[in-house]
């Protein structure tokens, strides 16, 4: 069976989850024998990101079509234990996208996305799956990253131009009738309307498919 990018992602994520390493077989220009590259478990995610950028969906290198990934295998090169549910009290995760179950453990890489919440990539479809019962990353003015830590409203219900216009008029009317109010906002789905009132003017700002980050002040 011909290997493709989806297969590569699945094998790499399974190796990460199982605490294994991977061996990648690649064709080399001007060389009859293939080359074998070993990626240790802790480096698999970084290498997978590179492979997905440098190679197309058929795993042919974007700069040289004579370079191709033709095989990927899970191995125990670094002699790390193959931690599984029977050996350790692993956590069962259900992917919201493909609805398949998989397990994470201490070797599974945690990433931190929207609002600093921890997530892992599904080992079947590579979708981001957030972990509800683990502590998130403490975000502040020094480590805040865009768009990584922001919630994107671009996937929300598309709001019509007419509804957006109605909200803009409503915001303007409210601020005109309440000269002491500094701002107002309305929105839903993929749209937000913000009204800002200054001494000599009122600004109406419309955001479509916008991003938002919320910082919880400590008591």
Instruction: State the pLDDT at residue 83.
Output: 45
| pLDDT for 63 beyond 60 | yes
Is residue 167 within 8 Å of 192, Cβ to Cβ?
no
CA distance 68 to 34: 10
Q: Does the pLDDT value for residue 138 go beyond 50?
A: yes
Burial class (CB in 10 A: 0-12, 13-18, 19+), 143: exposed
- Reported as a single tens digit per residue, the pLDDT across 145-203 is 999 899 888 877 899 999 999 999 999 999 999 999 999 999 999 999 999 999 999 99
Mean pLDDT computed over 19-43: 90
Q: Is the per-residue pLDDT at 78 higher than 70?
A: no
Do residues 110 and 17 make contact, with C-beta atoms less than 8 angstroms apart?
A: no
The residue assigned the tokens 């799956």 is 129
Per the listing, tokens 């107002």 go with 184
**Is the CB of residue 107 less than 8 Å from the CB of residue 44?**
no
Every domain of the chain and the residues it spans: 5-75, 91-149, 154-212
């Amino acid at each position: 069976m011909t290997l493709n990018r989806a297969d590569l992602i699945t094998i790499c994520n399974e190796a990460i989850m199982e605490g294994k390493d991977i061996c990648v077989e690649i064709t080399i220009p001007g060389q009859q024998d293939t080359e074998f590259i070993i990626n240790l478990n802790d480096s698999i995610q970084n290498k997978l990101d590179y492979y997905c950028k440098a190679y197309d969906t058929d795993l042919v290198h974007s700069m040289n079509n004579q370079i191709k990934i033709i095989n990927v295998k899970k191995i125990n090169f670094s002699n790390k234990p193959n931690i599984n549910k029977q050996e350790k009290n692993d956590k069962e995760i259900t992917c919201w996208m493909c609805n398949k179950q998989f397990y994470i453990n201490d070797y599974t890489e945690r990433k931190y996305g929207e609002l600093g919440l921890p997530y892992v990539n599904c080992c079947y479809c590579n979708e981001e799956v957030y972990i509800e019962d683990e502590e998130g990353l403490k975000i502040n003015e020094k480590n805040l990253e865009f768009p990584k830590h922001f919630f994107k409203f671009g996937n929300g219900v598309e709001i019509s131009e007419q509804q957006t216009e109605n909200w803009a008029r409503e915001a303007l009317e409210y601020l005109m009738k309440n000269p002491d109010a500094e701002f107002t906002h309305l929105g839903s789905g993929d749209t937000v309307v913000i009204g800002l009132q200054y001494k000599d003017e009122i600004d109406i700002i419309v955001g479509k498919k916008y991003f938002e980050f919320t910082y919880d002040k400590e008591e």
